[in-house]
Amino acid sequence: MQTQLERSNLTENEKMEAFLARIDRGEKIEADDWMPDDYRNQLIKLISMHGISEIMGALPEKEWVPKAPTLRRKLAIMAKVQDEMGHGQLLLRVAEDLLAPLGKTREDLMQDLFAKRLKFHNVFHMEAPTWADAGVIGWLVDGAAIITQSMSLDTSYAPYARALHRICAEEKFHAQHGESIVLELAEGTEEQRKMLQEAITRWWPSLLMFFGPPENGTITSNQSTNMRYKIRTQTNEELRQAFLKKYLPRIFHLGFTVPDDTIYFDEAKDQWVYQQPDWEAFKEIVKGNGPRSAHRLNLRETSYTETKWVRDAIMAYGRHVG
Amino acid sequence: MGDFSRVETVEAAKQNHEYTQALTDLLFQLADDDFILAYRGSEWLGLAPHIEEDVAFSSMSQDMMGHAVMFYEMLEQLGVGKADDLAQLRAADAFRNAILVERKNGEGDYNNDPHYDWAYAIVRSYVYGLHKQVRLEALLQSSYVPLTLVSRKMLTEHRYHLMHWQVWLKQLANSTPEARQRLEAAIEKVWKDAGELSQLGPNADSIARYGLIAAEDELKQKWLTLAQENFEKVGLVWPGEPGVPAERGRHGQHTAELVQALATLSEVYRIDPAASW
């Protein structure tokens, strides 16, 4: 309590200096600690987007859960998508603690989602028309997510770091789940291999976009704020390169291709040189104008609206017994 | 004829054709009930009233699907067919599930404009769960020892599921007038089918005679007594004797809703059942 009182006597500038000194020392920030507004706002933006992406991310796979081809696959994909929802729940709780001092709740996040103010990852706006898409989502989309999330494991905000540690451990199983579906198709019939190649081709631009536009030497103010506060430590391009290095050799090894005739690995620069996806299209997709955006938002909004009576009932029951 | 009061192995069961037939029929009822209701549960994914419930419901559907797999595998061991084929390639008239579990969750398709009924989900899951509890406890005394072993395992998981639905029932019954009304409408709907749950189908007599499970009436009285106690405890009006649907699911008669469900759940597998998935 003493330190709290002392802190409250500090000027805003002094609080900020003390906060930055903590960040520089590698200390972790807890939910109840003093933090500058822009730190809080960046975290809210990042974590609520991450959380809602997990939840919206369950929807493309949801399409395949009831259709999974064998009993084992049915069990595995049910477990996997349940995990994703669980991650969403975990992250929304972290976001809720950050939102509380602003007088906002999960309900606000849901309404922001429906109004397209709260964005979710580009990949979850895309179509998943075959079983192979479910495999590619598990293998490559989750693989990409592991790369970005692993970077944030050491984030300065302790509750986010704790959530990420749990999430990353589970994501590794998901990537194995996806890889297992993909390998089965890759070693399968002509029709199965064709289905898989089409899915890889379909997902390629979205996978490149997943990490965000390249910086080309200039990083955005958002990114520099996040890096100054040690919320994140790597740039979009560094993450994308890590992904390409890990997965392109595997895709090629299985005898599949990506829709990029000129892609090559530049040994001297130690990086993949690839054709840029359409970044204008990316902007439209994350704004909520992707091929499946309206469908999935509608699915979520309809079910949310139609079950309002249930949430009201739970509140009423709480008052009744409480 | 031999002694079939305690059958330890598949080989022993297969010594008697009539015993195997009764056992097979019962296993199909057990497997198909869990399989189809778990499928209905999986259609709810992403649509539950809140995220915590989505996680919980999905976890329970997964456990239930796991139970179905165990029963299908027991059928496979008996030489009836490959578990995946049994689950996904049989025609609707070969299914032995009760009609209650095949009813759709509400209007619309799981992926296209679904308008699902949460009150129905709760009441169906609760009634099915209560009956399943009674059935699994009865199976602990089954003459087929492998069935007693899997039932014991399932019971440990199942108790938590039942508790979950009991909490929902209690909360909705004591909340808002709207919730109460929806709950009562769902009870009425479920009650029209619920009487079929404890039926054992065309081989009911030999299933009971071989001590595979308790007789229909005993199962029925047990779950109804528990249900009535719980309804009174949470303040719900007891709907009385449950009805049975027009179709007789245990005899292989089903609704178009099952046909649709089977087409969906086997869509990918049917592309090439000989392929490895």
Interior/surface letters A172-209, b for 16+ CB within 10 angstroms, e for the rest: eebbebbbbbbebbbebeeebbebbbebbebbbbbbbb
B206 residue type, one letter: S
CB atoms within 10 A of CB A253: 9
pLDDT tens across A245-289, in order? Answer: 999 999 999 999 999 999 999 999 999 999 999 999 999 999 999
Provide the mean pLDDT of chain A.
Answer: 94
> Cβ contacts of residue A73 below 8 Å, gap of 6+?
A181, B277
Q: Is A106 helix (H, G, I), strand (E, B) or coil?
A: helix
Residues of B in contact with A298 (CB under 8 A): 113
pLDDT at A57 over 70: yes
| Facing B62 at nearest CB: one of A55, A82, A86 | A82
Distance between CA atoms of A153 and A158, rounded to whole angstroms? 9
- Chains A and B form CB pairs within 8 A to the count of 143
pLDDT tens across B117-133, in order? Answer: 999 999 999 999 999 99
Among chain B residues, the shortest Cα distance to A187 is held by B276
Estimate to the nearest angstrom the gap between the alpha carbon of B167 and the chain centroid: 20
β B106-109/A271-273 pair status: unpaired
pLDDT at A5 over 70: no
Q: How confident is the model at residue B2 (pLDDT cuts 50, 70, 90)?
A: low
CB contact under 8 A, B115 and A82: no
pLDDT tens across A106-127, in order? Answer: 999 999 999 999 999 999 999 9
CB contact under 8 A, A184 and B269: no
pLDDT tens across B138-183, in order? Answer: 999 999 999 999 999 999 999 999 999 999 999 999 999 999 999 9
Q: How confident is the model at residue A7 (pLDDT cuts 50, 70, 90)?
A: low
Interior/surface letters B40-69, b for 16+ CB within 10 angstroms, e for the rest: bbbbbbbbbbbbebbbbbbbbbbbbbbbbb
Optimal mutation site among A48, A54, A61, A70, interface B, most CBs of chain B within 10 A: A70
Distance between CA atoms of A59 and B112, rounded to whole angstroms? 12
Residues of B in contact with A320 (CB under 8 A): 174-175
Element (H, E) at B108: strand B106-109
A152 residue type, one letter: S
A322 touches chain B (CB under 8 A): no
Distance between CA atoms of B268 and A185, rounded to whole angstroms? 12
A182 touches chain B (CB under 8 A): no
CB contact under 8 A, A191 and B87: no
> How close are the terminal C-alpha atoms of chain A, in Å?
31
Among chain B residues, the shortest Cα distance to A296 is held by B111
Q: How confident is the model at residue A291 (pLDDT cuts 50, 70, 90)?
A: very high
A312 touches chain B (CB under 8 A): yes
Distance between CA atoms of A268 and A55, rounded to whole angstroms? 41
pLDDT at B25 over 50: yes
Task: Name the nearest CA neighbour of B105 among B94, B118, B95, B91.
Answer: B118
The answer for A 99-128 residues in CB contact with B (under 8 A) is none
> Cβ contacts of residue A312 below 8 Å, gap of 6+?
B175, B176, B178, B179
Q: Where are the extended beta strands (E) located within chain A?
A: 264-266, 271-273
β A271-273/A264-266 pair status: antiparallel
Determine contact, residues A79/B62, Cβ cutoff 8 Å: yes
Distance from CA of B220 to the nearest CA of A (A): 30
Residue B112 — φ and ψ, nearest 5°? -135, 100
The predicted complex's ipTM stands at 0.96
Residues of B in contact with A187 (CB under 8 A): 276
CB contact under 8 A, A82 and B58: yes
Distance from CA of A163 to the nearest CA of B (A): 16
CB contact under 8 A, B175 and A317: yes
Element (H, E) at B107: strand B106-109
Classify domain A35-321 at the CATH topology level.
Ferritin (1.20.1260)
Residue A157 — φ and ψ, nearest 5°? -90, 110
pLDDT at A321: 82
Every domain of chain A and the residues it spans: 35-321
Delineate the domains of chain B, giving CATH numbers in brackets: 13-271 (1.20.1260.10)
| Facing B62 at nearest CB: one of A70, A79, A313 | A79
CB contact under 8 A, B172 and A317: yes
pLDDT at A202: 98
Distance from CA of A299 to the nearest CA of B (A): 7
Determine contact, residues B44/B57, Cβ cutoff 8 Å: yes
pLDDT at A233 over 90: no
pLDDT tens across A175-205, in order? Answer: 889 999 999 999 999 999 999 999 999 999 9
**Token output for A193:** 């291999």
CB contact under 8 A, B46 and A58: yes
pLDDT at A218: 73
> Cβ contacts of residue B127 below 8 Å, gap of 6+?
B100, B190, B194, B197, B227
Q: How confident is the model at residue B4 (pLDDT cuts 50, 70, 90)?
A: confident
